[in-house]
Structure 1
Amino acid sequence: MTSTRISRGRRGAVHAAAAGLLSPLLVVGLQSAPAHAASGSWCGGMQGPYQKEAERFLGRKVDGRQSVGDCRAIRDFQRGHGIYPQYGYAGPVTWNVMKVVKQQRAAGKNPNRAGNCPVNKGRIACVDLTRQISWIQDGRKLVKGPVPVRTGRNKHETRTGLHQVYWRHKDHVSSLYDVPMPYSQFFDGGEAFHAIDGSVWSAPGSHGCVNMRTADAKSYWKLLKTGDEVYVYGRKAGT
């Protein structure tokens, strides 16, 4: 995603930009591990600096000491959220994802509790950059979500404000990055909702688009139409 706004009249030239890095999150700075560690078949019992925090998040006994059970629970979380290598090390990458997931879970069935997304617009898609979630509401009624999303990285932040869906392309492919962007729904220049083949929790983020899991992008495709409004607010950590 470039930072240049693409005019809506140039719909055929919209590249999307969207996709951003699809590579999984990487744990860095660890001692060497067996070759099969990354596959998740090995749990080395290495204790990370966020051991207690990970134990508390996962509902484990909080003693700050890595056990086989702790290792497997952390590894399962890493598997489910695209964090590699997957051998149960509670490092900063894993803990940062846990913090995001914790905020997303706390949104529950009332993501607009604070009233930040307009309730006087009828059907509208809301994007909270701070919590990295999106949902669709109709007035005060929750229609879909909240669902986890991945928005723009530093210097490619998803633009805040009130927008409208102006172009939809189910099988879009980015001409900038040569990556598929299924179920694209563009709402501001080259920024769009679309599915990615990867983890929506992976850093550093997109080039401005709102990346979604495939099932969520499909649901948004069915629920939204050209002209529907999109409201983006908040600020993503690290941007």
Structure 2
Amino acid sequence: MRVRTAVLRSSIAVTGVLTLVGGCTAQAVEKGAPAQKPTSSPSPSQPDDGKPSASASATPKPPPKVLLAPGDSSKDVRELQARLRQVAWLYNGPTGTYDDVTADAVKGFQGKRGLPRTGETDTVTWRRLLNMTHEPGKWELYQFGGQPPAKPDPRCMTGRVLCISKTSRTLAWMVDGRRVLTTDVRFGSQYTPTREGVFHVDFKSRHHVSTLYDTPMPYAMFFSGGQAVHYSTDFAARGYAGASHGCVNVKDERTIARLFAQVKNGDKVVVYW
């Protein structure tokens, strides 16, 4: 056993010598010449302290790319908000603006899933949200308005017209084919639908109160019997979760105040799909 061990050690020593002089081609070594000692300086990948150098360590993984962040305003933000509503992390909007409420909702979603609570929507956060939600439809994206206005009906292209689209749920105040202002509107329910067609403003009432429903109708502009364009606090608070009794509701009080000041009795009203 000792003899075999000695032979193995001798073979290892010879192999070591050959390894030291080995390269692309073998070189002759003078018999009896001492083996070349390694230099005292460390190799580039091994510093003096024995610890791996920065170049030898693993490359740090870059952070995920940020897709949306506070301050952004776009349709993509609106989709983010609609999806956050689906998983009950957001209850307002969608508005299309990445505000503080949206950032807090994103932080909550991230923290619940062990992700860094940045409040920014990065690729990892977005992927997790996509896997938990369905693609929002138009109704979900525009629960509180903000939908682009529809193409004006041809009947809106001449004169002074309140051009009201049921498809985009918008009202455009138009003068001689030019859109002066646009605002979100809400219509009646299936039981009290808003009439469609061409009408005219019959009369205006700044502080009107409905005699039928005993509810305020500020900035009312009547165009078909008891149906009018007017400001609605319920629309401002609940969005499209509610409906009118047939009137055209406006939720932006400043906009309808401007509209009320410009519209005159006799101006045309077009309600169309």
TM-score by length of 2: 0.50
Q: Whole-Å Cα distance in 2 between the matches of residues 139 and 123 of structure 1?
A: 6
* 1:171–1:116 CA distance, 2 compared to 1 (3 A): same
Q: Whole-Å Cα distance in 2 between the matches of residues 126 and 183 of structure 1?
A: 17
Cα contact 2:200–2:269 (8 A) shared by 1: yes
The correspondence of residues 118-137 of structure 1 with structure 2, limited to 5 A, is 118-137=155-174
Q: Whole-Å Cα distance in 1 between the matches of residues 144 and 213 of structure 2?
A: 32
What is the number of equivalent residue pairs in this alignment? 162
Amino acid at match of 1:77: G
Percent identity over paired residues: 26
Q: Are 2:198 and 1:178 equivalent residues in the alignment?
A: no
Secondary structure in structure 2 of the residue aligned to 1:185: strand
Of 166, 169, 181, which aligns to 2:205?
Answer: 169
Of 221, 241, 245, which aligns to 1:203?
Answer: 241
* 1:79–1:71 CA distance, 2 compared to 1 (3 A): farther
Cα contact 1:125–1:137 (8 A) shared by 2: yes
TM-score by length of 1: 0.56
* 1:203–1:167 CA distance, 2 compared to 1 (3 A): same
Partner of 2:148: 106
**1:187-218 CA distance string (max 9 Å, x none):** 01111011111225233411110011222221
Deviation at 1:119, TM superposition (A): 4.2
| Larger proportion of helix | 2
Of 218, 221, 228, which aligns to 2:257?
Answer: 218
**1:52-106 CA distance string (max 9 Å, x none):** xxx96535499x8x7xxx865x3342799xxxxxx979999x9664333598433
* 1:76–1:204 CA distance, 2 compared to 1 (3 A): closer
Amino acid at match of 1:217: I
Partner of 1:42: none
Task: Answer with 1 or 2: which has the greater Rg.
Answer: 2
Partner of 1:230: 269
Q: Whole-Å Cα distance in 1 between the matches of residues 198 and 178 of structure 2?
A: 19
Unaligned runs of 5+ in 2: 1-74, 97-103, 110-131
Q: Whole-Å Cα distance in 1 between the matches of residues 145 and 254 of structure 2?
A: 21
Secondary structure in structure 2 of the residue aligned to 1:77: coil
* 1:119–1:231 CA distance, 2 compared to 1 (3 A): closer
The correspondence of residues 117-156 of structure 1 with structure 2, limited to 5 A, is 117-145=154-182, 147-156=183-192
